[in-house]
């Protein structure tokens, strides 16, 4: 596609359930990022994939969060045993050689 | 590790007035610097970026920013604000090794008539 695609756009889940959020980056972009944006908050860095290098996981808030990127393209962010404080918009972005980040529309997660 | 500080959580300016949004960064070398804008209900859009060269960079929508190494700052300016500029503005810093990008907390701009 022409832009970064994220799914689902909205997800409502119960506390304790696992969720998976998907990101399909712009074709050819080597870098992929996940950020979290809570209500009224900035963009919290979660994880960064660059080419074939090991991902930078330094922003993941707990071991309940994990992400993978298959074939250098699609990425999945998994949150296990969700908590109410995980409620936020999860934004995916990709970038190429220019360093400009292109963002998806986000996945809004609500944990009841 | 890089970090970004945007000291103003929100700013209100009158339409037609000038605007300056502050951004300070921390990084061991000269970083790559960006300003992004998030309009209500919209995604994030790049306004401008600085990699090297001229320290005054021009962006879209009449915005400009100046890199000041001595102050570790990259403030965003606009000479005359329009009501449509009301949005949240994010300063970001990326490392020069691979574009890992960290964002500031954002400054919300309100424009009054």
Tens of pLDDT, residue by residue over A35-86, are 999 977 789 999 999 988 899 999 999 999 999 998 879 999 999 999 999 9
Cβ of B46 and A95 within 8 Å?
Answer: no
* Higher per-residue confidence, B76 vs A99: B76
Res. A1 pLDDT band, cuts 50 70 90 = low
What is the distance between the alpha carbons of residues A10 and A24, in angstroms, rounded to a whole number? 16
* Tens of pLDDT, residues A21-39: 999 999 999 999 999 999 7
Res. B27 pLDDT band, cuts 50 70 90 = confident
**Test mutation, A47, A53, A101, chain B, max B CBs within 10 A:** A101
Q: How many residues does chain B have?
A: 113
In sequence order, what are the beta bridge partners of A90?
Answer: A36, A107
What's the burial of B97, exposed, middle or buried (CB within 10 Å: 0-12/13-18/19+)?
exposed
**Which DSSP letter does residue A63 get?**
T
What pLDDT, on a 0 to 100 scale, did the predictor assign at position B95?
84
Res. B102 pLDDT band, cuts 50 70 90 = very high
Comparing CB atoms, the residue among B6, B36, B105 nearest residue A41 is B105
Contacts 24+ apart (CB under 8 A), A41-45: A41/A88, A41/B105, A41/B106, A42/B6, A42/B90, A42/B103, A42/B104, A42/B105, A42/B106, A43/A91, A43/B44, A43/B90, A43/B103, A43/B106, A45/B100, A45/B101, A45/B102, A45/B103
What pLDDT, on a 0 to 100 scale, did the predictor assign at position A49?
94
Cβ of B103 and A41 within 8 Å?
Answer: no
CA dihedral sign, ordered A91, A62, A47, A14:
negative
What pLDDT, on a 0 to 100 scale, did the predictor assign at position B42?
82
Cβ of B46 and A101 within 8 Å?
Answer: yes
* Higher per-residue confidence, B41 vs A109: A109
Question: Across A14-74, where does the E strand assignment appear?
Answer: 19-24, 31-37, 43-50, 65-69
Q: How many residues does chain A have?
A: 112
**Test mutation, B1, B4, B10, B99, chain A, max A CBs within 10 A:** B99
Rounded to an integer, the average pLDDT of B77-101 is 92
What pLDDT, on a 0 to 100 scale, did the predictor assign at position A14?
97
What pLDDT, on a 0 to 100 scale, did the predictor assign at position A72?
78
């Amino acid at each position: 596609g022409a832009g970064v695609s994220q799914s689902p756009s909205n997800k409502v889940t119960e506390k304790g359930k696992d969720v998976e959020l998907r990101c399909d980056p712009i074709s050819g972009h080597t870098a992929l990022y996940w950020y979290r944006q809570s209500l009224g908050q900035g963009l919290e860095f979660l994880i960064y994939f660059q080419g074939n290098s090991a991902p930078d996981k330094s922003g993941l808030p707990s071991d309940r969060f994990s992400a993978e990127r298959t074939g250098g393209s699609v990425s999945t962010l998994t949150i296990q045993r969700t908590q109410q404080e995980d409620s936020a918009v999860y934004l995916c972005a990709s970038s190429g050689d220019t360093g400009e980040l292109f963002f998806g529309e986000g996945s809004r997660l609500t944990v009841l | 590790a890089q970090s970004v500080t945007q000291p103003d959580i929100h700013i209100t300016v009158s339409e037609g007035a000038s605007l300056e949004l502050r951004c300070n960064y921390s990084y061991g070398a000269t970083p790559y610097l960006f300003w992004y804008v998030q309009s209500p209900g919209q995604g994030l859009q790049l306004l401008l970026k600085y990699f090297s060269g001229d320290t005054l960079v021009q962006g879209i929508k009449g915005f400009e920013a100046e890199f000041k190494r001595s102050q570790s700052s990259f403030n965003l300016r606009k000479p005359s604000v329009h009501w449509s500029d009301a949005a949240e503005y994010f300063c970001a810093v990326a490392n020069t090794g691979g574009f890992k990008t960290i964002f500031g907390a954002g400054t919300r701009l309100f424009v009054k008539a």
